[in-house]
Amino acid sequence: MLNKPNIFIKLLETSHAEDLLTLELNNRSFFQLYTPLRDEKFYTLDGQLERIKKSILFAKEDAGYSFGIFLIESKELIGNVALTEVVRSDLQSCWLGYCLDKQQNGKGYMTETVKLAVNYAFKELNLHRIEAGVMPHNIGSIKVLEKAGFHKEGIAKKNVRINGKWEDHQTFAIINMDTI
């Protein structure tokens, strides 16, 4: 468990499936603005259990790490942050992705979360570089990444299909200065 003053992150476990399903159902239309289309099974308990089991397997294989974001006081699951597509060898890198309950936006929780995930990636996984892609109009997410120390690198044209449409993404990155 990694924590900041208001939140903590913890690798997802099967015991989190019901809370993760509730998060996804309560934020379905909000999250859909920024994610690929999901099939209906995703929005079931079995779908979330399958998602968590895959994330546990990925962590065992050092291929990815998916964390729940929890409020310190209530222990409520309010989001997800993931380090995906971990590459070793000469790259030592991964991608960062995240989502937060729409009711929790604007409180600084995601900036705290991203800092925790970056610290984990650099200190525990000894990665050199983390990348993130954000739709250019998603100003809130851009601010989160900038506050967490990421820098802009460029626009990836039409690289992710969101809601059935290919969208541009601003690429951000942060480098582990201890590996240079």
Q: Strands 165-175, 151-162: parallel, antiparallel or unpaired by DSSP?
A: antiparallel
Please name the fold of domain 2-179. Answer: Aminopeptidase (3.40.630)
Whole-angstrom Cα distance, residue 121 to residue 130?
8
- In this prediction, residue 3 carries a pLDDT of 85
Indicate whether 2 pLDDT > 90.
no
Share of residues in the chain with pLDDT > 90 (%): 96
Both tokens of 39, joined, read 């099939």
d(CA 1, CA 59): 15
pLDDT of residue 165 exceeding 90, the answer is yes
- pLDDT at res. 180: 83
Measure CA 60 to chain center: 18
Closest CA to 66 of 87, 81, 77: 81
Sign of CA dihedral 11, 12, 13, 19: positive
In 23-141, beta strands by DSSP E: 65-71, 77-87, 93-100, 129-134
Count of positions (residues) in the chain: 180
Domain ranges of the chain: 2-179
Stated pTM of the model: 0.96
> Looking at residue 110, what is its pLDDT?
98
